């Protein structure tokens, strides 16, 4: 047997250590969302969904680029734009090149500006911002940039679907608008006014107001105004504790019409509404699990529940975000060159297991996909939320919603 010299042994050992280290280096994904405070349950559930998607869809299938795994790291931003920027820098300092965030468009606006500035100043440590739920239309219009991709439909696209449903409902003649006082809440109200004005001459908006985000403990004064207005439908973009507090208060004060929402499911909200929300709570969103479109979806959901018995797969776009990122990295042949990864994401058509396809529109980095109107119910629910018997069921589908929608984005590419 040939003996290694001392120098040869050291060199061989170095090669082994280097190869092992390179193989073990995961692709880090920073999850920057609330993990404490009033919206902690929403953020924590989202983190669990990202961790599960990365493991189930990527790591258990051999990873990407011949064996590299995804690693999702949670960063608590306390729903604060300022804290989010601090966590962004911490993540970048740890070698993270992919940022995911979704709770609060105010946070998303701060992050996308910071990412753009960082990438201009630091071409060797550029990062991509993968927005999975912040739906302020400005993010893919006047504030668009090459480094930001939105995997959720924006507020305008969702409102287009909601107002189609409202106009088709002969029982609705008066609508009350209420939402959180920040960029997203304002965008929802503006879109509702515009679309209802364009689609109907008979539907009247009888209320339009905003409330402080995350600070209202008792929504009774707002609910009484809604009931007194004579409204027979409500539209709100509220999410988290604000969605639950507002919705329960409206119902408890005697409102009996439909409440159209963006985020009234999962994270404890479905169980809390229970029987009271049946026939009242409606929401718009992508993907579907009731009825399950395939055995693949059923297997995915059951595997998630085995790991998180009290959790919910209430954001199917999270799986789509991970799946599309993995494909883009494979097509680019690298995870380090985020320009190449972004270029692979642009214009990508992705067949989602939840039904239909997703087009990542190259002009503004807005995902175009099927949207559904869901109803809160305990009938025909194979996969309920929150350990309850209630879930959401598709009652209407708009295929490739907003495919021809305009954008004011003027993309500047590196």
pLDDT at 24: 52
Mean pLDDT, the chain, as a whole number?
A: 92
Which one, of 97, 48, 108, 12, lies nearest residue 315 by Cα?
A: 48
Q: Is residue 154 scored above 50 in pLDDT?
A: yes
With a CB cutoff of 8 Å and minimum separation 6, the contacts of 262 are 135, 155, 158, 188, 236, 237, 238, 239, 283, 284, 285
The predicted-structure confidence for 73-123, as pLDDT tens digits, reads as follows 999 999 999 999 999 999 999 999 999 999 999 999 999 999 999 999 999
Q: Is residue 71 scored above 70 in pLDDT?
A: yes
Residue 19's pLDDT band (cuts 50, 70, 90): very low
Q: How far apart are CA 307 and CA 329, in angstroms?
A: 27
Which one, of 119, 141, 142, 121, lies nearest residue 129 by Cα?
A: 119
The predicted-structure confidence for 225-273, as pLDDT tens digits, reads as follows 999 999 999 999 998 899 999 999 999 999 999 999 999 988 889 999 9
Q: Is residue 4 scored above 90 in pLDDT?
A: no
Q: How far apart are CA 147 and CA 96, in angstroms?
A: 14
Residue with tokens 């193989």: 23
The predicted-structure confidence for 22-64, as pLDDT tens digits, reads as follows 445 899 999 999 999 988 988 999 999 999 999 999 999 999 9
pTM above 0.75, yes or no: yes
With a CB cutoff of 8 Å and minimum separation 6, the contacts of 65 are 329, 330, 333, 334, 335
Cα separations (Å) of 358 from 140, 223, 241, 253, 362?
Answer: 16, 38, 30, 40, 12
């Amino acid at each position: 047997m040939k003996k290694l010299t001392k120098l040869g042994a050291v060199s061989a050992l170095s090669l082994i250590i280097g190869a092992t280290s390179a193989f073990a280096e995961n692709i880090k994904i920073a999850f920057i969302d609330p993990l404490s405070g009033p919206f902690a349950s929403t953020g924590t559930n989202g983190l669990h969904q990202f961790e599960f998607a990365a493991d189930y869809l990527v790591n258990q299938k051999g990873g990407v680029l011949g064996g590299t795994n995804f690693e999702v790291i949670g960063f608590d931003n306390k729903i604060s734009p300022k804290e989010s920027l601090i966590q962004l820098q911490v993540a970048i300092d740890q070698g993270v090149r992919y940022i995911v965030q979704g709770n609060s468009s105010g946070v998303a606006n701060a992050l996308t500006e910071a990412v753009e500035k960082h990438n201009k100043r630091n071409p060797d440590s550029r990062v991509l911002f993968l927005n999975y739920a912040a739906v302020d239309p400005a993010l893919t219009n006047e504030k668009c940039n090459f480094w930001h991709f939105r995997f959720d439909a924006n507020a305008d696209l969702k409102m287009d679907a909601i107002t189609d449903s409202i106009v088709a409902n002969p029982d609705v003649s008066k609508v009350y608008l209420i939402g959180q006082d920040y960029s997203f809440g304002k965008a929802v109200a503006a879109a509702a006014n515009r679309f209802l004005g364009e689609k109907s001459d008979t539907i009247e908006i009888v209320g339009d107001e905003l409330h402080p985000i995350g600070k209202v403990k008792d929504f009774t004064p707002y609910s009484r105004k809604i009931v007194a207005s004579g409204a027979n439908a409500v539209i709100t973009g509220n999410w988290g504790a604000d969605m639950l507090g507002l919705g329960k208060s409206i119902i408890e004060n005697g409102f009996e019409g439909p409440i159209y929402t963006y985020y009234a499911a999962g994270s404890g909200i479905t169980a809390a509404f229970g029987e009271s929300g049946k026939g009242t709570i409606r929401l718009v969103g992508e993907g579907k699990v009731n009825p399950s479109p395939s055995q693949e979806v059923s297997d995915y959901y059951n595997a998630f529940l085995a790991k998180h018995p009290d959790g919910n797969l209430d954001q199917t776009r999270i799986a789509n975000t991970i799946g599309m990122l993995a494909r883009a990295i494979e097509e680019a042949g690298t995870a380090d060159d985020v320009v190449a990864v972004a270029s692979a994401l642009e214009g990508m058509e992705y067949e989602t297991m939840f039904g239909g396809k997703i087009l990542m529109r190259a002009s503004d980095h807005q995902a175009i996909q099927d949207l559904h109107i869901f109803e809160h119910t305990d009938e025909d629910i194979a996969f309920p939320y929150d350990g309850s018997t209630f879930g959401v069921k598709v009652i209407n589908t708009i295929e490739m919603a907003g495919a021809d929608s305009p954008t004011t984005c003027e993309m500047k590419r590196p």
